[in-house]
């Protein structure tokens, strides 16, 4: 089974969805943090970054450090970060490290999109 980290993007009217796939470890640092495209998209305050974890089955502490850096960067632009598709275990880890103070977790994509729509109204 290929566990290599991959990432693809889907544009939204007010943001971007990143579909994450594979293991979220130190290897994810390059795609997640040094990809200029999402940084260009999220130049507008109030835009939203949505992380889809549906196809991520392993996240370690180095991967969590990448996510903290990502959410910090997004928050510094007055943008919002959302996540969905996380298992209860990883939701627990995110709470333990304080990620949930900067990243709002939803059960699925429909719920996130509903929230983003409400924010833009």
Binding site for another protein (CB under 8 A): 3, 23, 25-27, 58, 60-62, 64-65, 68-69, 72, 87-89, 92-93, 96-98
Q: What is the C-alpha separation between 62 and 43, in angstroms, rounded?
A: 26
Q: Which helix (H) or strand (E) holds 50?
A: strand 48-55
CB-nearer residue toward another protein: 2 or 121: 2
Q: Report the DSSP beta bridge partners of residue 21.
A: 6, 55
Q: Which helix (H) or strand (E) holds 62?
A: helix 61-76
> Shortest Cβ distance from residue 63 to another protein (Å)?
10
> Shortest Cβ distance from residue 41 to another protein (Å)?
24
CB-nearer residue toward another protein: 6 or 92: 92
């Amino acid at each position: 089974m290929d566990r290599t980290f991959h990432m693809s993007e889907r544009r939204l009217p007010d943001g971007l969805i990143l579909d994450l796939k594979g293991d979220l470890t130190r290897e994810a640092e390059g795609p997640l943090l040094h990809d200029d495209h999402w940084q260009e998209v999220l130049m507008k305050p109030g835009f939203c970054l949505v992380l889809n974890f549906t196809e991520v089955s392993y996240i370690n502490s180095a991967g969590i450090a990448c996510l903290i850096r990502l959410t910090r960067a997004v928050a510094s632009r007055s943008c919002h970060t959302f996540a969905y598709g996380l298992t209860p275990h990883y939701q627990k880890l995110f709470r333990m490290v304080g990620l949930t103070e900067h990243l709002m977790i939803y059960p699925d994509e429909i719920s996130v999109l509903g929230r983003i729509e409400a924010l833009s109204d």
